[in-house]
Amino acid sequence: MKKYTYIFTALALGIAVSCATNPFSGKKTMALVPDSEILPSAFAQYSTFLTENKVVSGTTNAKLVESVGIKIKNAAERYLNANGYQGYLKDYRWEYKLIDSKEVNAWCMPGGKIVVYSGILPVTKTEAGLATVMGHEVAHALANHGQQRMSGSMLQQLGAVGAQVLVGEQSETTQALAMQAYGAGSNVLGMLPFSRSHETEADEIGLTLMAIAGYNPEESVAFWGRMSANSGGGAPPEFMSTHPSDQTRMSNLQRLIPQAKKEAAKFGVTFK
């Protein structure tokens, strides 16, 4: 047992010193995997993804994705530089690609590698709708959510080891039930709320970025209304989901719009 105590103490000390600062909230976040490992891996995965999927280039929509992406990137740089985070994006290698796919989705890997699927464009509908999506996805990268999810997964695995140690002398049936309970509990009470909090934070940051980029943040609520209609109400209960419900999301955005406009006004961007 003493051996495990040493292991857990060492890991706990590692966690305590392995932190990053969220430049938008100022809060410390877990960073058990450094950017020096995450970014090269993300860049390599992105390159592989592009070779395995149909990239749309030269079209009006492809140019729009790149144009909106650049505006969001510039907004992020303006915000970070103005708030004392000069150089925060020095290791980013921005790319904005439109992929021919019916999937209604978009994502941004750590380091600014963005993909928008053509299937989401009928839902974004407007340039501001696309800015809502791209601002949200870029926000995940800027707030190091990928790094935090990796760190959270490592902690979940550590907890599993601890649970196994605690019941190690029990019967095989008891051990199996205990591990099943730990797996379900750590997901519902830990990882899923963790993920939902990331989505909510990305909405808030994305709202600020789109506003600084010149897009009216009120358009975000209209976009999520269209997303809700497109999904047909087939989402699982919120507590079992990695994302907040559409209604929760739209209510949060409505509440945050005045603050996003206030931030944009600091950069000379105002809305009627």
Residues marked as catalytic: 137
- 245: alpha, beta or left? (left if phi > 0; alpha if psi -120 to 50): beta
**Cα separations (Å) of 132 from 2, 237, 251?**
52, 24, 15
Q: Which residues contact 266 (CB under 8 A, 6 or more apart)?
A: 82
Nearest partner of 133 among 58, 54, 72, 49, judged by Cα = 72
Nearest partner of 252 among 241, 240, 244, judged by Cα = 244
Please count the other Cβ atoms lying within 10 Å of the Cβ belonging to residue 9.
10
**Cα separations (Å) of 179 from 7, 43, 133, 175?**
20, 36, 38, 6
> Is 260 in contact with 217 (CB distance < 8 Å)?
yes
Phi, psi at residue 225, to the nearest 5°?
-65, -40
> Is 42 in contact with 109 (CB distance < 8 Å)?
yes
Q: Which residues contact 86 (CB under 8 A, 6 or more apart)?
A: 80
Phi, psi at residue 62, to the nearest 5°?
-60, -40
Residue 71 CA to residue 213 CA, distance in Å, equals 6
Sheet holding 95-99, edge to edge: 55-56, 95-99, 113-117, 106-109
